[in-house]
Structure 1
Amino acid sequence: MNRLKYVLKDKVAALSLSIIAVTTVAGVFAPFIAPHDPEEVNMELQFAASSWEYLLGNDHLGRCMLSRLIYGIRPSMLWVFAALVLSVTIGSIVGFLAGYFRGKTDAFLMRVCDVMLSFPGYVMTLAVIGILGVGFENILLAFVLMKWAWFARIIRTSVMQYAESEYVKFSKAIGASHLKIMISHIIPVALPDIAVIASSSFGSMILQISGFSFLGLGIQAPQAEWGMMLNEAREVMFSRPELMLAPGLTIVIIVSAINYLADTLQVALDPQLMTSKNKQLGFETTSIAKLEGKGVA
């Protein structure tokens, strides 16, 4: 509860959380919120300026930009989040097994991770696209293959630290099962680390999926996606810059909100960082008070 209060007390973090929450709700309920069908072509409205009926105007096929922006939340953010959850889940299982049992289990699992991490992320993604073909689902699959080993390595380090704690050793001494020890003692203390790692990766994954879609390797027309909207507006970027401005600003705002919230979560979930931040804020407040006092005097 104190950690949640700390996040909400930070005005920028609270604003970031609100932006993410509102965007998520808009994506989930896109059919009820979007004013028009995002795939409806109306050539009479080609490159039409913004109006009360079409607040963000229309694209090169007369489609509603606002509706496409709202529907683009699903592939650009929600499906990326699903891929992130799957990657973190696989990485957590591997990391917990390797960090807790150590020995041969750790050696085998880490060698598998080494093999996966030996391929650069973009090379792995392009290889999956080359084998399975262009498509949004294939990029998400590549993300999972690319990320889980990285999560496993980081989570393993965290689990190894907690597995050596006194209360875990005591639980082993009284005959508690490995599963019970992991569920009762290690998972609760490792969850904050996992949350910070996952939230830090979320923004970069959104940028990556938008980048691949911008290159034409992701989601295909006529479906809406922010990166593909940027690609479609590229040819008229000088004559109609507002067509690139809407999806571009959306990506910047969402990724910035996620990154700032991830930084705040890291401080809130780490007692040492929170203590350091509080001391720093206390020092700054005291210094300001002294300066004001001197000014009044």
Structure 2
Amino acid sequence: MAGKTVEVINGPKRSSPRIEAYKAFWKRLSKNKAAVVGGFFILLFIVVSIVGPFLTTKDPTEVMVLNKLQPPSAEFWFGTDNFGRDIFTRIIHGMSLTLKVGFLSVAIGGSIGVIFGIVSGYYGGKIDTIIMRVMDVLLAFPGILLALAIVSVLGGSLQNVIIAVAVFSVPAFARIVRSSTLSVRQLEYIDAVKALGASDFRIIFKHILPNVVSPIIVQATLRIATAVLTASGLSFLGLGAQPPEPEWGAMLNDGRTYMKTAPHLMLFPGMMIAIVVLAFNIFGDGLRDALDPKMKK
């Protein structure tokens, strides 16, 4: 007697919960058209900062006195400055400096702030009190003034600007991560992990940190915009990048004298600073909406 063939009908394969969460996140983010535009410009800036300097044909620091203060033209797209240097070339080369300050300062300040925030929220008690009082002292100073004081002590340079911006970024990350850690620490599964004998290090970095990463990402994106603006302001005051570095804030400072006779010296660097800051801000707002649990359906 022939055996019967049994057909097993498999249902549609379901993705893992993590993949489903990522898909839902991208779906919510893509609905925010402003955030998509901001993200596009951020990617464009990153690509230009990497490959742009290799595509330009002019030297950003070459002095050509005979071509000084030339208006925008087919040869000099953004015109030339008071030393005859091509402004378009200097902006392309300066983009890498601007993004370097933004990303590095936020990475350093964010890392320190996240560690302080998690330790403060997880352990509480005297440790929490000491860390938060230090953060309150730093927050008592306006960010630009704190950065200005630090750079004044360390000296004017791009590296010192990164340090200064990193320092005043620490409190913002610390406070946000602390509040998120306090919420996660109260969850039952954290108590269960403790009962199983997991170390504090494992609990913090394996169970708490992954659950507070969303506000960290949003804060980092928004903080980059603040870092770019602060670094440009310090360079404008002569405390950031030093000549002949093509930093946008320093270019604004160089063009002040020629504001009426050659406004393009300030127009294009200022426009680029505004676009970069706006792109990070609107993208950060979109991330916040996409990662907000209240927005999930």
**Native 8 Å contact 1:16 1:260 kept in 2:** yes
Q: Say which SS state the counterpart of residue 239 (structure 1) adopts.
A: coil
Report the TM-score, using the length of structure 2 for normalisation.
0.87
Once residues 83 and 236 of structure 1 are traced to their aligned partners in structure 2, the CA distance between those partners, rounded to angstroms, is 32
Once residues 214 and 127 of structure 1 are traced to their aligned partners in structure 2, the CA distance between those partners, rounded to angstroms, is 15
**Native 8 Å contact 1:267 1:274 kept in 2:** no
Once residues 35 and 163 of structure 1 are traced to their aligned partners in structure 2, the CA distance between those partners, rounded to angstroms, is 56
2:267 to 237, 245, 250: 245
Consecutive unaligned residues of structure 1, counting only runs of 5 or more, are 276-297
**Deviations along 1:240-291, whole A, 9 cap, x unmatched?**
222221111111111111111111100100120355xxxxxxxxxxxxxxxx
1:71 deviation in Å?
1.1
1:104 deviation in Å?
2.8
**Native 8 Å contact 2:122 2:181 kept in 1:** yes
Cα-Cα RMSD: 1.7
Whether 2:102 is the aligned partner of 1:84: answer: no
Alignment of 1:111-130 (within 5 A): 111-130=133-152
Report the TM-score, using the length of structure 1 for normalisation.
0.87
Look up the equivalent residue of 1:38 and give its one-letter code.
Answer: P
Aligned to 2:287: 265
1:46 deviation in Å?
1.0
Name which of structure 1's ranges 213-222 and 43-52 shifts more when overlaid on structure 2.
Answer: 43-52
**Native 8 Å contact 2:42 2:280 kept in 1:** yes
2:128 to 67, 92, 106: 106
1:111 deviation in Å?
3.0
Whether 2:84 is the aligned partner of 1:62: answer: yes
Aligned to 1:287: none
Aligned to 1:94: 116
Once residues 193 and 19 of structure 1 are traced to their aligned partners in structure 2, the CA distance between those partners, rounded to angstroms, is 22
1:27 to 43, 46, 49: 49
Q: Say which SS state the counterpart of residue 49 (structure 1) adopts.
A: coil
**Deviations along 1:137-165, whole A, 9 cap, x unmatched?**
22221122222133212211111111111
Look up the equivalent residue of 1:33 and give its one-letter code.
Answer: L
1:19 deviation in Å?
0.6
Sequence identity percentage:
37
1:127 deviation in Å?
2.4
Aligned to 2:252: 230
1:214 to 232, 236, 248: 236
Alignment of 1:36-47 (within 5 A): 36-47=58-69
Q: Say which SS state the counterpart of residue 54 (structure 1) adopts.
A: coil
1:44 deviation in Å?
1.4
Q: Which has the higher helix share?
A: 1
Aligned to 2:278: 256
1:93 deviation in Å?
0.7
| Number of residue-to-residue matches in the alignment | 275
User: Are the structure 2 counterparts of residues 14 and 150 from structure 1 closer, same or farther at C-alpha, using a change threshold of 3 Å?
Assistant: closer
* Rg comparison, structure with higher value: 2
Aligned to 1:189: 211
Aligned to 1:6: 28
1:13 deviation in Å?
1.6
1:203 deviation in Å?
1.1
Look up the equivalent residue of 1:39 and give its one-letter code.
Answer: T
**Deviations along 1:68-125, whole A, 9 cap, x unmatched?**
0011112222222111110000000111111112223222322332343344433322
Look up the equivalent residue of 1:208 and give its one-letter code.
Answer: T
2:195 to 164, 170, 173: 173
Once residues 56 and 181 of structure 2 are traced to their aligned partners in structure 1, the CA distance between those partners, rounded to angstroms, is 44
**Deviations along 1:214-255, whole A, 9 cap, x unmatched?**
122211111101111111111111222222211111111111
1:143 to 143, 157, 165: 165
